[in-house]
Homo-oligomer: A and B are copies of this chain.
């Protein structure tokens, strides 16, 4: 709520150690916020996981709400950059297709959250919280909506007959389905268990793209 009105000037560069500690705290916060939600993860839990004293979490992250927002924003910039670069590359390579546009949005996210290490995996579940809780609306708006709107415009160009409302709704459907790969894999496995057949965790990206491309074209 209360962003720093005026960033106080530092008189010294932060030490390597303090920067490492800072990242350790943010990693721990990311993990615990993702697993247990905002109120489910306590500052002391986070401090314990980061192997620091509780007060240090407030020192580096400010209030708990500010810490949450910082942790979400930390990787959002990289994610947005990758997505926009993929879109620019696709545009440069040739005429856009709907599937290509959707892929530029989905593939970077899935690649990171499913194959990008434990912290990115936690980040995926963290974003799911932001996406389904109106209390974090301002975070979603600042961190993700600018990039989303870029993709919405591309989709609108490719589907000129479809109203913006419909496209927005379909896009939220797609984001929800995408995030379900981070939050609800246990559900998929539980529902499919006992049924013979190969595991398709490998091509879940293609699966999701098939589903959403067809959905948008409906």
Contacts and interface: CB of A to CB of B under 8 A. Distances in A.
A111 interface: no
A207 interface: yes
Given A140-B187, A169-B200, A176-B184, 7 more contacts: A149-B191, A168-B188, A170-B207, A172-B184, A172-B187, A172-B191, A176-B176
A165 B196 CA distance: 9
A213 interface: yes
Interface in A58-87: none
Nearest to A196: B164
Contact of A145 (B169, B171, B190): B190
Contact of A165 (B167, B177, B199, B215): B199
A116 interface: no
Interface residues of A, number: 61
Query: A167, A169, A175, A211 — which one has the most chain B CB atoms within 10 A of its CB?
Result: A169
Interface of A: 36-40, 128, 131-134, 137, 140-141, 145, 148-149, 152, 163-177, 179-180, 183-184, 186-192, 195-200, 204, 207-208, 210-218
- In the A-B complex, list the 6 residue pairs whose CB atoms are closest, starting with the nearest: A164-B195, A211-B215, A214-B218, A168-B192, A173-B177, A176-B180
A165 B39 contact: no
A192 B207 contact: no
B171 A191 contact: yes
Contacts of A218: 210-211, 213-214
20 contacts: A131-B184, A132-B184, A152-B191, A164-B192, A165-B188, A165-B192, A167-B192, A168-B192, A169-B188, A170-B207, A171-B191, A172-B187, A173-B177, A173-B180, A173-B208, A210-B218, A211-B215, A211-B218, A212-B215, A213-B218
Contacts of A152: 191
